[in-house]
Every structure is written in structure tokens, then in C-alpha cells.
Chains A and B, each alone.
Chain A
Amino acid sequence: SQQGEEDPQALSIQEGENATMNCSYKTSINNLQWYRQNSGRGLVHLILIRSNEREKHSGRLRVTLDTSKKSSSLLITASRAADTASYFCAPSGNTPLVFGKGTRLSVIA
């Protein structure tokens, strides 16, 4: 299993601003997934991007994937206080998902 490494570890922005989080990984993948975790709760799957895709949108989320650089980014546009959470990327191959330390996003109203 391989885990992604999220950057930055913490991010604080004002409501309405955009938030960008990055993820790097080491080996080839089938897809890369992003998850959100509100404090003390289970993870929620946000979006999955396949290795042959470069960009994917879902509502206010935009994910990019650069397999040559082994990196991905998650952009949350027009952030809201409810977006305050930890965000994890999970590079997916043929083994169970493992998770890095995540990015802790704080959106200040």
C-alpha cells in the first residue's frame, strides 16, 4: 500500500475564498481519491479521478491529476464555514487504501 502526502498540513482562509490542497505519491496508481473528515467522524468520499484523467469537477470541487509528476490537487471554490474539516488523498492501486496526515482546513466566517 502507498499513502499520499498532503500539503499544506494546515490551511486557514476566509469564507468565500478558494482553498487548494496538494497531494504527492510515489508509485503508479489506478486512481486517486479524496476524502473529507469532519472532527471525530468517519471519512466521506469526495471524488475519484482515474489515472487516465487529468481533471475532474464535482460541484465546488475541482481535482487535477498529473501522473508524470505523481501529484494531485484539490481545489474548493467559494469556501464555506461548513468546509472546515481535514482532507485526505488516497492513491489507489490494488491494495487497501492508506491515508496520510491530511490537510486541516479552517474556513473562517
Chain B
Amino acid sequence: SAVISQKPSRDICQRGTSLTIQCQVDSQVTMMFWYRQQPGQSLTLIATANQGSEATYESGFVIDKFPISRPNLTFSTLTVSNMSPEDSSIYLCSVGTSGQSEGYTFGSGTRLTVV
């Protein structure tokens, strides 16, 4: 299965600033996803990162707040823009196979605290 390197592992940021999270995969993958896990909650899907085109966002998430890039089949970034304390969460990237015939692989997560 794929190996994911997600950076940074944690950060403390001032409100109003932005943070970009990187996700590097050791092999080409079809599907890449970004999830958010708020304190004490389950994972919520933010968007599907599409290679070479705009990401597909889930209800409640918008590109202006969470711009996503995916320039190739092994790399993606998620930016959390104009942060507020409510954005304090763990952000996780994940990769999967087309048709979901195998399980997803998750990065180790980025623990973001906004002060």
C-alpha cells in the first residue's frame, strides 16, 4: 500500500493567517482526499483533490476557505485560509484506489491549533 508523508505534523497559528499542509505519496494514486477531525469528533470529508482540475468540495466547505492543489498524481496541498479558533482540528490526507477495491491509506495528520 502507499506510504504518505504529511507535513507539518502540528502547528500553532495566529488567527487571520493561513497554513498550507502538504501530502506526498510514494506512488502514483488515483484518488486523494482531505478530511478534518474536530476535537472529539469523527472525520469529515472536506474535498476530493483532482489531478489537474479544481477539487470537488463537500457541502459546507468552499474553495476560498480551503484551497486545494494537486499538480500531479503523488502530491497535494490543502490551505486553511484566514484561520479562526474554530479551525483548530486535525487535518488528514488520504489516498484510495479507483473503485475503492482496497482500503484507504491515511497520512499521520496535521494537528492545527489557532490562537
A interface list, Cβ under 8 A from B: 1, 30-31, 33, 35, 40-48, 88, 90, 92-94, 96-102
Contacts and interface: CB of A to CB of B under 8 A. Distances in A.
Among A35, A41, A100, the one with the most B-chain Cβ atoms within 10 Å of its Cβ is: A41
A32 B110 CA distance: 27
B100 A92 contact: yes
Given A30-B99, A31-B100, A96 B48 contact: yes
B109 A31 contact: no
B105 interface: yes
Contacts of A96: 31, 33, 45, 48, 96
Interface string B60-83: 000000000000000000000000
Nearest to A92: B100
B105 A41 contact: no
Nearest to B56: A96
